[in-house]
């Protein structure tokens, strides 16, 4: 019999090499989305395809399967929640998934993503869907092939969703989202009927990007984003990228005449960054040191952006400093500012959507993606289908495709099945936040004093430090004692917006 701890050690080294290669790919992707010159795309596509192919080869080596089997049979790792046992369980999940995909498909998906992103940028800038259409067609064909290789019980969407939200089922998400919609529609209607409206013009004055950046950095650092292990850069489509145990990078975009995108965007991405920065470093490159899922990741960004960053208590602390940073806010009352940053109004762009309408944007995308994968919708018909649904949900006529189906980067990156994790993130955030309040007491009072570390520590203790120990739905039960429900989110929205718009909701 071979020495099991030697086998585990060998497997660990193999997996760390794979993770390191993955972080090299991540660094190239970060560069692609920040500083790469326009014409660098074709060569970058080859670089990334090569690395993705190599990583796939390493990750699917027969030897890994053999080592896993040996460790599984001996129940190496002892207690099923020990880091070793968690690693073996999750490596098996990832390995079984990857061995089903041919290397040629993985390379083609990666290459296509770089070209498709390039085409998407041009299509979006010139508002011409036709420039992106052939790449969307190709992406859809490849993703359907991917789903077929992976296999699924109910529908192809399940296979793709699993990559982002392990264990989640399309049918269950459809149920939660439609329940949420049934609550959101009357809330939205009541708000629209209120005679109170914020004056949002105060956010559309002159806000020099340099001042926005300085203020954003200050806020990000105060909530716990560590700049010694992180950066903040500028990009078209903001994101957060965890590149290594002490290297997490966030990006944003500045609009000189609108304060919201960068201000709340930085808090959002810092929320993601704080999660990555507080994963157990000693387990970097293994599941015990990885984030659980995108739905949990997004809960961290949403919690800081909305439950904290859009709360009145937060601004009681920060507003005097914001007024110093931005002369345009001189003479604007705190309550008017607070109301303005919480305006609820149907609008075209998802990333700028308010907390009430946001999930309707997700529902629309989820329904289209599902139809695409089931073969009920073709790439060519996406703009029309988008615009029709948009009108049905928001009562608005989409003026052009840049404001419609071309607004998001996801499809060009091959990320189909990703969108629902945003809504899961919102629901998770509300339920975690309720629990944090129950455990820590008056959070608002802490925010008023500028104290954000008790909450940050709570999140690290309950969520960040866990790595992939629990699956997302299990983590929710462990932390809050309940499965994920829409209740916390719906009650949070009713309380907050009922007060702001002076409408009565039963909570
Ligand atoms: Co996010």
C-alpha separations of 64 from 59, 92, 96 in Å = 8, 9, 11
Task: Say how many Å lie between the CA of residue 297 and the centre of ligand 1.
Answer: 7
Residue 269 has pLDDT above 60, yes or no: yes
3-state secondary structure of 451: coil
Residue 1 has pLDDT above 60, yes or no: no
Task: Say how many Å lie between the CA of residue 240 and the centre of ligand 1.
Answer: 8
Most confident listed range (105-119, 163-177, 284-298): 284-298
Token representation of residue 338: 């607070």
Domains and CATH numbers, the chain: 3-151 (no CATH), 170-501 (1.10.1370.30)
Task: Say how many Å lie between the CA of residue 69 and the centre of ligand 1.
Answer: 36
Name the band, by pLDDT with cuts 50, 70 and 90, for residue 77: confident
Contact criterion met (CB below 8 Å) for 310 and 268: no
Q: What is the pLDDT of residue 450?
A: 98
- DSSP letter (8 states) at residue 305: I
Residue with tokens 């629902």: 420
Q: Which of 204, 237, 251 is nearest to 402 (CA)?
A: 237
Active site residues: 269
Cβ-defined contacts of 226-230 (< 8 Å, 24+) = 226/277, 229/277, 230/273, 230/277
In degrees rounded to 5, what are phi and psi of residue 241? Answer: -130, 120
Q: What is the pLDDT of residue 2?
A: 59
- DSSP letter (8 states) at residue 1: -
Task: Say how many Å lie between the CA of residue 301 and the centre of ligand 1.
Answer: 6
Question: For residues 222 and 228, what is the distance between their CA atoms, to the nearest angstrom?
Answer: 14
Task: Say how many Å lie between the CA of residue 59 and the centre of ligand 1.
Answer: 27
Task: Say how many Å lie between the CA of residue 13 and the centre of ligand 1.
Answer: 31
Task: Say how many Å lie between the CA of residue 299 and the centre of ligand 1.
Answer: 8
pLDDT digits (tens, 9 = 90+) for 319-371: 999 999 999 999 999 999 999 999 999 999 998 899 999 999 999 999 999 99
User: Could you give the percent of the chain with pLDDT greater than 90?
Assistant: 92
Q: Which residues surround ligand 1, an ion (CB under 5 A)?
A: 298, 301
Task: Say how many Å lie between the CA of residue 298 and the centre of ligand 1.
Answer: 5
Task: Say how many Å lie between the CA of residue 64 and the centre of ligand 1.
Answer: 33
Residue 496 has pLDDT above 90, yes or no: yes
Question: For residues 95 and 195, what is the distance between their CA atoms, to the nearest angstrom?
Answer: 57
Question: For residues 477 and 297, what is the distance between their CA atoms, to the nearest angstrom?
Answer: 16
Contact criterion met (CB below 8 Å) for 116 and 135: yes
pLDDT digits (tens, 9 = 90+) for 87-126: 999 999 999 999 999 989 999 999 999 899 999 999 999 9
Token representation of residue 376: 């009920």
Q: What is the pLDDT of residue 76?
A: 87
Cβ neighbours of 173 (radius 10 Å): 24
Token representation of residue 194: 């209120």
Instruction: Pick 207 or 107 by higher pLDDT.
Output: 207
Task: Say how many Å lie between the CA of residue 316 and the centre of ligand 1.
Answer: 25
Residue 467 has pLDDT above 60, yes or no: yes
Contact criterion met (CB below 8 Å) for 396 and 417: no
Q: What is the pLDDT of residue 498?
A: 97
Q: Which of 21, 456, 473, 30 is nearest to 242 (CA)?
A: 30
pLDDT digits (tens, 9 = 90+) for 393-430: 998 999 999 999 999 999 999 999 999 999 999 999 99
């Amino acid at each position: 019999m071979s020495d099991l701890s030697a086998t585990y050690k060998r497997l660990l080294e193999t997996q760390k090499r794979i993770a390191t290669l993955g972080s090299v790919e991540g660094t190239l992707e970060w560069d692609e989305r920040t500083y790469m010159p326009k014409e660098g795309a074709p060569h970058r596509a080859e670089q990334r395809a090569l690395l993705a192919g190599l990583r796939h080869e390493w990750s699917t080596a027969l030897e890994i399967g053999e080592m896993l089997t040996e460790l599984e049979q001996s129940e190496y790792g002892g207690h099923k929640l020990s880091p070793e046992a968690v690693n073996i369980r999750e490596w098996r999940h990832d390995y079984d998934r990857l061995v089903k995909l041919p290397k040629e498909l993985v390379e083609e998906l990666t290459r296509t993503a770089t070209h498709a992103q390039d085409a998407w940028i041009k299509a979006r800038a010139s508002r011409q869907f036709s420039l992106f259409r052939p790449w969307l067609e190709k992406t859809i064909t490849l993703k359907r092939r991917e789903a077929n290789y992976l296999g699924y019980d109910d529908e192809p969407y399940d296979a793709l969703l699993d990559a982002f939200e392990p264990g989640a089922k399309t049918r269950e998400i459809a149920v939660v989202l439609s329940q949420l919609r049934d609550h959101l529609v009357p809330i939205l209607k009541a708000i629209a009927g209120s005679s109170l409206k914020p004056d949002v013009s105060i956010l559309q004055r002159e806000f020099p990007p340099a001042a926005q950046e300085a203020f954003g950095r200050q806020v990000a650092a105060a909530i716990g984003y560590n700049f010694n292990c992180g950066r903040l850069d500028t990009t078209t489509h903001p994101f957060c990228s965890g590149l290594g145990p002490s290297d997490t990078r966030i990006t944003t975009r500045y609009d000189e005449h609108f304060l919201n995108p960068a201000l709340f965007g930085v808090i959002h991405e810092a929320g993601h960054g704080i999660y990555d920065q507080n994963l157990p470093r000693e387990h970097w490159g293994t599941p015990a040191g990885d984030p659980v899922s995108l739905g949990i990741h997004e809960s961290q960004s949403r919690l800081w952006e909305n439950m904290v960053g859009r709360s009145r208590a937060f601004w009681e602390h920060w507003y005097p400093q914001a007024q110093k940073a931005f002369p345009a806010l001189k003479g604007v009352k705190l309550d008017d500012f607070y109301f303005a940053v919480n305006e609820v109004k149907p609008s075209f762009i998802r990333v700028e959507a308010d907390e009430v309408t946001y999930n309707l944007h997700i529902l629309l995308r989820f329904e289209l993606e599902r139809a695409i994968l089931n073969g009920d919708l073709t790439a060519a018909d996406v703009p029309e289908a988008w615009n029709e649904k948009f009108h049905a949900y928001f009562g608005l006529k989409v003026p052009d495709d840049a404001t419609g189906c071309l607004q998001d980067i996801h499809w060009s990156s091959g990320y189909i099945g990703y969108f629902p994790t945003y809504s899961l993130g919102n629901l998770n955030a509300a339920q975690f936040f309720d629990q944090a309040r129950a455990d820590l007491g008056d959070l608002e009072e802490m925010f008023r004093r500028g104290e954000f570390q008790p909450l940050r520590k709570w999140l690290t203790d309950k969520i960040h430090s866990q790595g992939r120990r629990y699956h997302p739905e299990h983590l929710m039960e462990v932390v809050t004692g309940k499965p994920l429900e829409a209740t916390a989110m719906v009650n949070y929205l009713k309380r907050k917006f009922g007060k702001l718009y002076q409408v009565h909701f039963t909570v």
